[in-house]
């Protein structure tokens, strides 16, 4: 399998429920909610037993003087889908950055409302996860928090293109300025964590932007209306993990 195809497959299956019909149903409410994910399947045991789970409350930081993240923005968006768990956008080229002397390329990004990670106890109404993979298929997620404020023009073509039906994929006809979805200051918090959806696989490198981006109240309401329910996993214990900045 070619590298591009391999990492796309890894990124998609790692952040979304498996596509196979035998995949256990999971949800954010009721008997299949996050509190029960680990009971739904042997595949999901890490959701209950893992010691390095995400999301987390980012606090008690270690000053490692991390340099700002240098992202090369040259990706264009390809398609968008509401899969019943999130609004996800796939890409047809790869923004990239270097982390731990390895190249990480963007595979897809998606949204959670309300946001999942907290910063010093503060929750945010929207959080975007930009899922990157290296040549070995290892994942690094760059998270951006959004706060109500000025309208974010980069979100408009995404919101306008969300298909009316669940699991219906729509080709994005308008380019999206991904740089506008990030704050100008690229300093970040870093910790080792997991996927925030089943199977909750650990070993994910999390980079959470310190500064926030903005969106209008109307744009936030559009996300909430499309998703119809909250899609945030509750905070997970750190179990002695360090969060560096």
Chain CA centroid to CA 209, Å: 12
Closest CA to 97 of 213, 205, 215, 232: 205
DSSP string, 130-142: EEEE-TT--EEEE
Sign for the CA dihedral angle at 110, 213, 93, 162 comes to: positive
**Is 118 known to be catalytic?**
no
Rounded (5°) CA angle 109-115-120: 125
Residue 14 structure tokens: 């790692």
Closest CA to 197 of 47, 90, 92: 47
* Options 74, 85, 129, 239, the catalytic residue: 85
- The set of catalytic residues is 85
């Amino acid at each position: 399998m070619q590298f591009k195809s391999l990492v796309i497959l890894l990124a998609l299956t790692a952040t979304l429920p498996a596509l196979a019909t035998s995949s256990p149903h999971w949800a954010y409410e009721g008997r299949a909610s996050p509190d029960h994910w680990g009971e739904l399947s042997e595949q999901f045991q890490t959701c209950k037993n893992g010691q390095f789970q995400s999301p987390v409350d980012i606090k008690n930081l270690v000053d490692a003087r991390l340099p700002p993240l240098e992202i090369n923005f040259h990706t264009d968006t390809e398609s968008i889908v509401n899969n019943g768990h999130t609004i996800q956008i796939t890409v047809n080229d790869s923004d990239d950055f270097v982390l731990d002397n390895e190249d990480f390329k963007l595979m897809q990004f998606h949204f959670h409302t309300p946001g999942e990670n907290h910063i010093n106890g503060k929750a945010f109404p929207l959080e975007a996860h930009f899922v990157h993979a290296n040549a070995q298929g290892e994942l690094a997620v760059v998270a951006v928090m959004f706060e109500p404020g000025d309208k974010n023009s980069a979100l408009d073509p995404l919101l306008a293109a969300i298909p009316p039906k669940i699991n219906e994929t729509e080709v994005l006809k308008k380019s999206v300025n991904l740089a506008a979805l990030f704050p100008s200051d690229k300093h970040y918090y870093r910790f080792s964590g997991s996927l925030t959806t089943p199977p909750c696989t650990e070993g994910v490198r999390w980079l959470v932007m310190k500064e926030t981006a903005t969106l209008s109240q109307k744009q936030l309401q559009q996300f909430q209306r499309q998703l119809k329910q909250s899609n945030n996993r509750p905070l997970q214990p750190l179990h002695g993990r360090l969060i560096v900045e």
